[in-house]
């Protein structure tokens, strides 16, 4: 039942206000019964159910009168009046159901009118059955108690006064009847009972109103707290999944769906077994052993690595759990940023200082190579100096490029034309046959990307692909397509080589990591940094048929 006055919609009853966290206009829930009207649907529902009691009572009295005629006091004094009043009481109950459903007239008028009708008709039934001695006056107690509880104590004493006057008038009228005698003592005791019941019902109704007001305030606070929790969970960088004791998913945020794929079905109905087999196995092991070790997992859908951390809800693991999914790629990126932040400025300054003497060393070695006085061994030593000088120069250029990643300007690029020109330039520069590339691009694939940055990303990735592919026609495939779910263009660079070994995939994009003696280990790292500077991602896809890199960039709507 709704309280007399609904509490305002606040986040906390003591410390915060809704405007500080967004307020109702920002999506706070409007709870049922929290309106400003004093009488809600609960009041009318209670009044509606009491009308069924009237119908049942009238039917029972009439049935008892006809079945046990002569053996009970019902209608003993004036039988025809008892039957007529009982039928009228039955019809009144049916009519009041209609007025209650239509909610007209207003609630206070209906309550008082129905109580007065009950008192009048029950008093007439009591008179036709011989007065107070018939015991029908006790039925008025039910009406007084019910009306006080339904109307929250309003007019409880007034209704008791009306009932008392009706009983005393009935006994007074009965005293003038030649066929029955009045009993004022029982009438007085019954009237006293009316006031006692009305007072007790009034007290209970007030206590109930206070309890409901407190419960309503707590309900609003809990609803607002639930809204805040949902906002916090959705804004977390880690994936969060809440499961109950039956492994049904109760809550999941967008980051978890990015790692594991979208949730198909309604929350509370989909189980963790149907959503993710990896997590189902992990949580089953956790329920059995309580092991909370952070085991890295890899999603088969997004091909992203993550680490799970499971926290029980309550004191028992069987009640449910909160599963935290830590994106390892994000953690690795943060670790790399922390590691390189301290070295960034230092390496840039060192690179500038190294570049000039390095150029002098390389130039001097080239001049010495032109001298015919050196033998084969000496010339070989000069070649080693030249090769390592070239390698160091490339490393210096790569380091200097790290400081230029934020200087790009995004532009709209048609991938079909751009990839065609790129493959021709790359083949010519690297002295590769043009047939090495196969381009499969939808004509409507358009992305926003800095032209120079995209050139560097593709050049670094394709250089790796050309190094490990089988050097056959169509050994390197460039496939671009638009994802159906979002406005994202996926560009896959696939080669027919052996791919990257599983033990090296975790370090693939780390700086200075390389499996080649002549490599700098900065190519893929710089490619990913340039991709992120253009709000794109560069990932390695585990493909048993060869190496595959995927560049996901923002597309342009047509």
Q: What does the pLDDT average to over 376-397?
A: 76
Strand pairing partners for 372?
none
Sheet holding 249-252, edge to edge: 249-252, 239-244, 320-327, 305-312, 296-298
Q: What does the pLDDT average to over 266-292?
A: 83
Q: How confident is the model at residue 151 (pLDDT cuts 50, 70, 90)?
A: confident
Q: How confident is the model at residue 340 (pLDDT cuts 50, 70, 90)?
A: low
Distance CA 47, CA 41 (A): 10
pLDDT exceeds 70 at position 347: no
The pLDDT score that the predictor gives to residue 325 is: 87
DSSP summary character for residue 271:
B
Cα angle 233, 234, 235 (rounded to 5 degrees) comes to: 90
Nearest to 84 by CA among 118, 64, 58: 58
Q: What is the tally of helices (H) and strands (E) in the chain?
A: 15, 12
Tell me what the pLDDT averaged over the chain comes to: 81
Report in angstroms the alpha-carbon separations of 556 from 55, 412, 421, 446: 70, 8, 20, 5
The pLDDT score that the predictor gives to residue 193 is: 94
Residue showing tokens 């083949």: 427
Whether the Cβ atoms of residue 313 and residue 321 lie closer than 8 Å to each other: yes
Distance CA 158, CA 140 (A): 14
Distance CA 49, CA 45 (A): 6
Whether the Cβ atoms of residue 531 and residue 538 lie closer than 8 Å to each other: yes
pLDDT exceeds 60 at position 556: yes
Backbone angles phi, psi at 528, to 5 degrees: -70, -40
Task: Quickly count: other Cβ atoms within 10 Å of residue 51's Cβ.
Answer: 20
pLDDT exceeds 50 at position 17: no
Whether the Cβ atoms of residue 40 and residue 33 lie closer than 8 Å to each other: yes
The pLDDT score that the predictor gives to residue 492 is: 92
pLDDT exceeds 90 at position 120: yes
The pLDDT score that the predictor gives to residue 352 is: 66
Whether the Cβ atoms of residue 504 and residue 382 lie closer than 8 Å to each other: no
The pLDDT score that the predictor gives to residue 53 is: 94
The pLDDT score that the predictor gives to residue 97 is: 93
Nearest to 194 by CA among 172, 165, 174: 165
Residue showing tokens 């809704």: 18
Task: Quickly count: other Cβ atoms within 10 Å of residue 364's Cβ.
Answer: 13
User: Which of the two residues, 111 and 314, has the higher pLDDT score?
Assistant: 111
The pLDDT score that the predictor gives to residue 91 is: 96
The pLDDT score that the predictor gives to residue 26 is: 36
Segment holding 413, helix H or strand E: strand 411-414
Q: How confident is the model at residue 37 (pLDDT cuts 50, 70, 90)?
A: very low
Backbone angles phi, psi at 484, to 5 degrees: -75, -30
pLDDT exceeds 80 at position 465: yes
- Residues 188, 194, 197, 198, Cα dihedral to 10°: -140
Residues 6 or more apart in contact with residue 447 via CB below 8 angstroms: 412, 413, 415, 489, 491, 553, 554, 555, 556
Residues 6 or more apart in contact with residue 340 via CB below 8 angstroms: 402, 511
467-516, pLDDT tens digit by residue? 889 889 999 999 998 876 567 889 999 999 888 888 888 788 887 777 77
pLDDT exceeds 90 at position 405: no
The pLDDT score that the predictor gives to residue 440 is: 92
Whether the Cβ atoms of residue 305 and residue 329 lie closer than 8 Å to each other: yes
User: Which of the two residues, 424 and 366, has the higher pLDDT score?
Assistant: 424
Whether the Cβ atoms of residue 105 and residue 114 lie closer than 8 Å to each other: no
Range among 7-11, 17-21, 520-524, 547-551 rated most confident? 547-551
Nearest to 121 by CA among 201, 45, 62, 190: 62
User: Which of the two residues, 286 and 19, has the higher pLDDT score?
Assistant: 286
Whether the Cβ atoms of residue 306 and residue 325 lie closer than 8 Å to each other: yes
DSSP-assigned states of every residue in 371-390:
-TTS-HHHHHHHHHHHHHHH
Distance CA 514, CA 519 (A): 6
Whether the Cβ atoms of residue 132 and residue 186 lie closer than 8 Å to each other: yes
The pLDDT score that the predictor gives to residue 408 is: 64
The pLDDT score that the predictor gives to residue 311 is: 85
Q: What does the pLDDT average to over 333-345?
A: 65
The pLDDT score that the predictor gives to residue 236 is: 80
Distance CA 337, CA 493 (A): 26
β pairing state of 548-554 and 488-495: antiparallel
198-236, pLDDT tens digit by residue? 999 888 888 888 888 899 899 999 888 888 877 877 778
């Amino acid at each position: 039942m709704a309280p007399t006055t609904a509490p305002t919609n606040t986040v906390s009853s003591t410390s915060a206000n809704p405007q500080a966290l967004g307020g109702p206009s920002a999506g706070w829930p409007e709870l049922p019964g929290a309106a400003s009207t004093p009488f809600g649907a609960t009041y009318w529902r209670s009044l509606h159910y009491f009308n069924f009691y009237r119908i049942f009572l009238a039917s029972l009295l009439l049935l008892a009168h006809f079945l046990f005629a002569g053996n009970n006091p019902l209608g003993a004094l004036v039988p025809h009046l008892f039957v007529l009043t009982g039928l009228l009481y039955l019809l009144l109950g049916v009519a009041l159901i209609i007025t209650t459903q239509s909610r007209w007239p207003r609630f206070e008028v209906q309550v008082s009118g129905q109580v007065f009708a009950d008192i009048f008709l029950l008093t007439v039934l009591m008179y036709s059955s011989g007065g107070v001695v018939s015991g029908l006056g006790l039925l008025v107690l039910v009406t007084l108690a019910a009306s006080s509880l339904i109307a929250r104590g309003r007019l409880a004493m007034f209704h008791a006064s009306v009932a008392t006057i009706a009983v005393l008038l009935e006994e007074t009228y009965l005293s003038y009847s030649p066929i029955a005698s009045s009993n004022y003592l029982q009438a007085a005791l019954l009237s006293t009972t009316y006031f006692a019941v009305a007072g007790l019902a009034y007290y209970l109704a007030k206590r109930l109103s206070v309890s409901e007001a407190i419960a309503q305030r707590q309900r609003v606070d809990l609803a607002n707290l639930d809204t805040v929790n949902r906002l916090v969970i959705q804004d977390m960088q880690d994936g969060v999944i809440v499961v109950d004791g039956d492994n049904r998913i109760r809550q999941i945020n967008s980051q978890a769906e990015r790692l594991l794929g979208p949730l198909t079905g309604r929350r509370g109905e989909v189980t963790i077994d149907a959503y993710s087999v990896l997590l189902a196995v992990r949580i089953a092991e956790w329920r059995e052993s309580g092991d909370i070790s952070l085991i890295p997992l890899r999603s088969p859908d997004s091909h992203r690595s993550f680490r799970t951390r499971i926290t029980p809800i309550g004191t028992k693991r069987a009640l449910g759990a909160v599963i935290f999914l830590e994106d390892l790629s994000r953690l690795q990126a943060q670790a790399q940023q922390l590691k390189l932040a301290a070295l960034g400025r230092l390496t840039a300054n060192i690179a500038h200082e190294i570049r000039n003497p390095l150029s002098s060393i390389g130039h001097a070695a080239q001049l010495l190579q032109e001298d015919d006085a050196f033998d084969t061994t000496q010339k070989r030593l000069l070649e080693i100096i030249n090769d390592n000088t070239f390698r160091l120069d490339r490393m210096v250029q790569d380091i200097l490029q790290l400081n230029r990643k934020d200087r790009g300007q995004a532009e709209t690029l048609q991938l079909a034309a751009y990839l065609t020109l790129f493959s021709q330039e790359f083949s010519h520069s690297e002295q590769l046959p043009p047939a090495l590339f196969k381009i499969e691009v939808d004509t409507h694939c358009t992305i926003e990307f800095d032209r120079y940055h995209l050139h560097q990303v593709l050049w670094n990735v394709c250089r790796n692909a050309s190094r490990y592919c089988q050097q056959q026609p169509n050994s390197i495939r460039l496939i671009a397509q638009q994802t159906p779910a979002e406005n994202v263009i996926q560009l896959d660079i696939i080669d027919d080589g052996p791919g990257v070994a599983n033990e090296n995939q975790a370090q693939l994009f780390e700086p200075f990591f390389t499996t080649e003696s002549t490599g700098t280990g900065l190519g893929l790292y710089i490619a990913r940094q340039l991709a992120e500077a253009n709000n794109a991602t560069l990932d390695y896809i585990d493909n048993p048929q060869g190496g595959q890199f995927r560049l996901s960039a923002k597309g342009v709507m047509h």
